[in-house]
Amino acid sequence: MKSLALANFILTTYPDKNITPMKLQKLAYYAKVWTLIAGESLIEADFKKWSYGPVNTEIYHHYKEHGAAGIEQVGLTLPIDDQSDNLLKFILDNYVDYSAFTLSAMTHNEDPWMETAENDIIPDNVIFAYYSNQPFAKNFTQDHPGGAFHVLQSNSWHSFTMDMDKDEAETFAVYPSYDEFHQQSKKANDEFKELLKDINELF
């Protein structure tokens, strides 16, 4: 899958997620990262180190006219096999709800972007060496959704667990399955919405 086909896949799979060019770049980058970790040579796209994170120049020039606005994609996604489709959606589902700036900040805290010279291509071997040692990589050594799910340890996850001891934080780092993680996440989101509703009614 080449860079523009990947961009098209992302935009047509998540049409209501307000994906800006900057957010698209980061989603495409993480799609490449984790398919490499999964041992799939699925994505033919290079990413350079730019100021706001990894950037694929083909995607940049194709969508730059949108500026900071969300992209409304018109067109059909090229067909891919079910295994590749499921893998990409599994990866992207874990990133797509983050903002463009949050995703950019995440890449800025990771060695491949930090250790690459400005405007140079981030090498695949550097990507693999770093991300294969992250907890999230364990998700690609087992079948899903049946196996244990290791949570993406993003900046927000670290903020959430910052005041916890190691054992307590670990209970929020691994779930029995991907489905269990989604159920617990939905429950927490619903409870948070109810809390906000109750607060608004007070005022």
- Residue 137 DSSP one-character state: G
Pure H helices in 50-165: 57-63, 82-93, 100-108, 111-114, 124-131, 155-161
CB-hemisphere CA count at 13 Å for 39? 5
C-alpha to C-alpha distance for 119 and 105, rounded to whole angstroms: 18
**Do 62 and 4 form a contact (C-beta atoms < 8 A)?**
yes
Name the residue type at position 196.
Answer: L
pLDDT per position in the chain (203 positions), as tens?
Answer: 899 999 999 999 999 999 999 999 999 999 999 999 998 888 999 999 999 999 999 999 999 999 989 998 766 667 787 888 899 999 999 999 999 999 999 999 999 999 999 999 999 999 999 999 999 999 887 655 457 888 786 655 445 445 565 555 566 667 777 777 767 766 666 654 566 666 766 66
Largest CA distance in the chain: 55
The pair of three-digit structure tokens given for residue 189, joined into one six-digit string? 């989101």
E strand spans, the chain: 48-50, 53-55, 149-150, 174-175
pTM: 0.83
End-to-end CA distance of the chain: 52
